[in-house]
Structure 1
Amino acid sequence: MSDENPTRDGVEAQAQAQPHNQPQTATTTPPGAKHVLKTIIGRELRTIARTRTFYVLALALAAVVLGVAWTGGGIRAGFVPTAVDLLTPLELLVPVVAVAFGYRAVLADEQRGELDVLETYPVSNRSIVLGVYVGRVIGLLVAIVVPLVLVAIAVVVAEEDRILIYASHAGVDSPLLFARFVVLTALFAMAVLAVAIAVSAAVSATRSALALAVVALVVLLVGLDLLLVYGFTSGLIGDGALVHSLALSPLSAFRGLVFDTVVVVAAGTGPAVASPLASVLGLVGWTVGSLALASWLLNR
């Protein structure tokens, strides 16, 4: 983000610090890889805490989530109706917020020269990417999960008569289903953030990062789904393979998982709209693959 604080904290300070009452020696023990990894994670958390844009994004997301849940009537109907109301807004907002959290994460380190400093330590590029990702994902999950938890509390307080389809199945409108919805949203956000980290590692200028981030959003939100539609209508994807093919798109995988493991479970019946195993593997694959790509790009 453009207002991230460009300070070097943690790694360089530890490298330069020496006790005042002891003479410097020619041989010093460098911090271990795990210690450097923890330092990178802490630095990313401090960067998030200092960056006003992240607070604005988190507050805007919370306002939209709470507003949609209340005005849509889901809060007064139950947990599953609330999840249905929130699904479409989160399909759009989660990728935007996740990309905003990550599209400059590695690039900012490179521009400040911190990557050059980190290369002097016994830590691999994979560990650098992992540290950046973990730090950013903690902040992102706080921004996404906290509003959803507040919505769940509001459902407990304000829930009125349930919709008949849910009332006809005792106990199906469970907070456990809403918790499943929250976990799936978190997995979706983590996958998109990993893509944003890869974008950040692929560019060398802020303008290029912004342009590539927009392209990534278009591909994630529209492009992959259009490819799936084309594959199905052209016969490249058969009827039996469609539910598994949805895993190729993070957005379709997330949507399919919500319908198959939350909505259909609550209704008690319904067609299979996704393969839960394939969709979960798809989200994990996008996460791991994007982080691996980011590590490889740093090695160039």
Structure 2
Amino acid sequence: MVDHHRVAVIVDREFRTVFRSRTLLALAGFVVLIVVSLAGAATGSPGGYVSLTLDLLAPIELLVPVLAFSFVYRSIQGDHERGELDVMRTYSLSRIEYLAGVYLGRIAGLLVVVIGALVLAGIVASLGAVVPVSFLATHSAGDTPLVFVRFVVLTAVYTLVVSSLAVAASAVARRTRDVLALSVGLLLLVAIGLDLLLVGLLSAEAVTQGNLHVFLGLSPASAFRGLVIETAVTPALAEAPPVAAASPLINIVGLTTWLLIPFVAAYAAVWQE
């Protein structure tokens, strides 16, 4: 049975660790600056929240994995390297309690940065907003803050998924060099590797237009991208695109799989009871 008090203690420890690191704070500040600057550059352009969402979509796809791995990749491996993991095992702390505490503590700090950056971006963009051009909105609720809110929520989900991969890397690797190499490999895989693989499959005609939506849901980045376009952007357009950008159901299943499998791998690797 999971003891929530023990989990809360680990969560508090990890959350404090994140915000005591000057390197992580500097990286977080840099990411916030980029996101807010992009929103500022888009201020005054037609399209309102739809344009803002599309402007930030590609940068967020890349920035979130970089930030997530930076925040998480040394969490468990660092405890192992310092011998703290062996000390924790002497207490009545189960693997799931430790793992849940580490993950929730790190993700809490990460979400503060990611959501905070997007909220600031939304505020900056709204200060210079102009009336959206007529072809974008189907009705009065077309281009509303709800478009951007959906984007923020989906970005939070994407952050959870990528962080699960980072936790798995930290649990599997035992040396700093190994966890760094594994994290960089996974980062490249999530950010560009799977998309490049899909392009290769399309070129080889192993993937067709009929089953493309299935393969798009298998990559965390493309699944996130498809959900944003289908659930946030498309409902605000006057005319829906003739071809759907993705299958929301398949994308949700894909993201859920990428969330759970790394977490199970981390649970198996962190220590043997």
User: Residue type of the partner of 2:74?
Assistant: R
TM-score in terms of structure 1 length: 0.84
2: CA distance, partners of 1:168 / 1:250: 30
Q: Distance in 1 between matches of 2:218 and 2:44?
A: 30
Q: Do the aligned residues in 1 keep the contact of 2:10 with 2:105 (CA within 8 Å)?
A: yes
In 1, the alpha carbon distance for the partners of 2:14 and 2:89 equals: 17
Distance 1:253 1:82 in 2: 20
Match of residue 273 from structure 1: 245
Q: Secondary structure at the match of 2:217?
A: helix
Deviation larger for 257-266 or 68-77:
68-77
* Helix, strand or coil at the partner of 1:166: coil
Q: Pairwise mapping of residues 163-242 of structure 1 onto structure 2 (< 5 A)? A: 163-167=133-137, 169-242=139-212
Matches within 5 A, 1:82-121: 82-121=52-91
Shift of 1:153: 2.1
Do the aligned residues in 2 keep the contact of 1:75 with 1:151 (CA within 8 Å)? Answer: no
Query: What is the Cα deviation at residue 168 of structure 1?
Result: 5.7
The separation in 1 between residues aligned to 2:96 and 2:137, in whole angstroms, is 50
Counterpart CA distance in 1 for 2:250 and 2:11 is 31
Which of 32-41 and 52-61 deviates more? 32-41
Task: Please state if 1:287 is matched with 2:263.
Answer: no
Judge which range, 86-95 or 163-172, deviates more.
163-172
**1:35-82 Cα deviation digits (max 9, x unpaired):** 221111110011012111221121111110111111133677411110
Could you tell me whether the CA contact under 8 Å between 2:44 and 2:130 is conserved in 1? no
- State which drifts further: 252-261 or 166-175: 166-175
CA contact (8 A) 2:166 2:183 kept: yes
Instruction: Choose 167-176 or 276-285, whichever is displaced more.
Output: 167-176
TM (norm. structure 2) is 0.92
Q: Is the 8 A contact 1:76 1:158 kept in 2?
A: no
Deviates more, 1:73-82 or 1:150-159: 73-82
Distance 1:150 1:75, change over 3 A: farther
1:183 CA drift (Å)? 0.7
Contact residue 98 and residue 196 of structure 1 kept, 8 A: yes
- Give the alignment of 1:21-170 within 5 angstroms: 33-73=3-43, 77-167=47-137, 169-170=139-140
Give yes or no for contact 1:69–1:75 (8 Å, CA) kept in 2.
no
Structure 1: 5+ residue stretches without partners: 1-31
Q: Aligned equivalents of 1:74 and 1:96: distance in 2?
A: 29
Q: Percent identity at matched positions?
A: 41
Question: C-alpha distance in 2, partners of 1:231/1:121?
Answer: 50
Q: d(CA) in 2 for partners of 1:225 and 1:134?
A: 28
Moved more, 83-92 or 160-169: 160-169
Cα distance in 2, alignment partners of residues 57 and 34 from structure 1? 31
Distance apart, 1:142 and its partner CA: 0.5
Letter of the structure 2 residue corresponding to residue 272 of structure 1? A
User: What code does the residue aligned with 2:40 have?
Assistant: W
Question: How far apart, in 1, do the equivalents of 2:203 and 2:44 lie?
Answer: 35
- 1:177 and 1:167 map into 2 onto residues whose CA distance is 11
Distance 1:253 1:167, change over 3 A: closer
Contact 1:130 1:291 survives alignment (8 Å): no
Equivalent-residue separation in structure 1 for 2:75 and 2:139 (angstroms): 47
Distance in 2 (CA, whole Å) between partners of 1:244 and 1:74 is: 37
Structure 2, unaligned runs of 5 or more: none
Q: CA deviation at 1:249?
A: 0.5
Displacement of 1:221 in angstroms is 1.4
Distance 1:167 1:236, change over 3 A: closer
Larger radius of gyration: 1
Which moved further from structure 2: 203-212 or 101-110?
203-212
